[in-house]
Amino acid sequence: MRIALPPAPPDAPSRTRLGWEIAIVLALGLGQSAVYAVVQLLDRLTLSTPLADQTATLNPAQSSRELFDLVYQLLGIAFSLAPVLLVCFLLWRASRPHLGALGLDGARVGRDTAWGLGLVVAIGVPGLALYLAGRLLGMFVAVDPGAQSAYWWTVPVLLLSAARAAVQEEVVVLGYLFARLRQLGWGPWTIVLSTSVLRASYHLYQGPGAFIGNLAMGLLFGFLFLRTGRLLPFLVAHFLIDAAAFVGYPWAASTWPALFGLPGH
**Contact (CB, 8 A) for 237 and 120:** yes
What is the reported pLDDT for 258? 58
The dihedral sign for the CA sequence 212, 217, 219, 222? negative
Q: Counting beta carbons within 10 angstroms of the beta carbon of residue 250, is it exposed (0 to 12), middle (13 to 18) or buried (19 or more)?
A: middle
Q: Where are the domains of the chain?
A: 15-260
The length of the chain, given as a count of residues:
265
What is the reported pLDDT for 12? 62
What is the reported pLDDT for 107? 92
- Bridge partners (DSSP) of residue 262 are none
Please tell me the distance from the alpha carbon of residue 90 to that of residue 93, in angstroms, as a whole number.
9
Helix/strand/coil for 142: strand
What is the reported pLDDT for 251? 64
Task: Write the DSSP string, 48-102.
Answer: SS-GGG-EEESS--S-SSHHHHHHHHHHHHHHHTHHHHHHHHHH--SSSSTTGGG
pTM flag (> 0.85): yes
What is the reported pLDDT for 138? 78
What is the reported pLDDT for 56? 85
Please tell me the distance from the alpha carbon of residue 221 to that of residue 228, in angstroms, as a whole number.
10
Please tell me the distance from the alpha carbon of residue 57 to that of residue 30, in angstroms, as a whole number.
18
Over its length of 265 residues, how does the chain's per-residue pLDDT go in tens digits?
556 655 555 556 789 999 999 999 999 999 999 999 999 999 999 999 998 888 888 888 899 899 999 999 999 999 999 999 999 999 999 999 999 999 999 999 999 999 999 999 888 878 778 877 777 777 778 777 665 567 899 989 999 999 999 999 999 999 999 999 999 999 999 999 999 999 999 999 998 988 999 999 999 999 999 999 999 999 999 999 999 888 876 666 666 665 555 554 4
**Contact (CB, 8 A) for 215 and 195:** no
Please tell me the distance from the alpha carbon of residue 206 to that of residue 190, in angstroms, as a whole number.
26
What is the reported pLDDT for 130? 80
Please tell me the distance from the alpha carbon of residue 248 to that of residue 192, in angstroms, as a whole number.
31
C-beta neighbour count of 80 within 10 angstroms: 17
Please tell me the distance from the alpha carbon of residue 206 to that of residue 27, in angstroms, as a whole number.
21
What is the H or E stretch that residue 7 is in? none
